[in-house]
Amino acid sequence: MHYTFQFADVFAAWPLLLRGTLITLELSFMAMLLGLAVAIACAWGKTAGPAPLRFAINAYIELIRNTPFLVQLFFFFFALPALGLRWSAHTAALTAMVVNLGAYATEIIRAGIEAIPKGQIEAGLALNLKRHQIFRYVILKPALRAIFPALTSQFILLMLSSSVVSAISADDLTSVAANLQSQTFRSFEIYIVVAGIYLALALAFSALFKLVFQWGLSYPDRR
């Protein structure tokens, strides 16, 4: 079988690919920031909250971790509008990504929090630190140092999983690729380029998070 590679049509559509890449980056960064905030709040509630709150958080984690992301995405985009909550594909995709990341990252952060020695917390109490200061400086920051590699992997996995949002017509990179394929019929070339873009994004995220760790978390707080 003879096949002639023709990348001209793919490269000619670089503005569309760039736009899809930027939307993927926007979704990923927003989901990472909001999902991390959800995860920190849930990890705190699971380790220090009252029993009803712990039960609710555990139910949320089990529900999200034991259902497919695609089903969660469809729930936010197709099911909730039946109850009167209507939003765009972009908003539904972002919400689903935040909810999904929050559940997985909660367990990662919870493991880091529980790894902090009790003596370290008692030292914070002896220094007359307030509860929020103890959580921020004595518990959370050392915990993030310990679990940062696992959290980084989860962030990158979230970025790669964002390709699923094309199923609800969100204009991400994969959606752009599908549209180009239907127009040019150069499936092989298009998905080679798109796979290369995702690989470049994953490596860029890894390098960025490594830099954040080195300059933001690896050094002790001197305040």
Q: Over the stretch 146-193, which tens digit does the pLDDT of each residue have?
A: 888 899 999 999 999 999 999 998 889 999 999 998 888 888 899 999
**79 to 91, 92, 185: CA distances (angstroms):** 14, 11, 33
Q: Fill in the amino acid letter for 184.
A: T
DSSP 36: H
Q: Rounded to the nearest 5 degrees, what angle is found at the Cα of 70, between the Cα atoms of 64 and 76?
A: 75
The domain segmentation of the chain, as residue ranges, is 26-217
**110 to 12, 29, 73: CA distances (angstroms):** 47, 22, 25
DSSP 81: G
DSSP 7: -
Does residue 82 contact residue 120 with C-beta atoms inside 8 Å?
A: no
pTM here? 0.88
pLDDT in tens, 131-143: 777 777 777 778 8
Strands (E), 132-181: none
Whole-angstrom Cα distance, residue 6 to residue 3?
9
Instruction: State the CATH class of domain 26-217.
Output: mainly alpha
pLDDT band at 94 (very low <50, low <70, confident <90, very high): very high
| Token pair belonging to 121 | 């917390």
Average pLDDT across the chain, whole number: 88
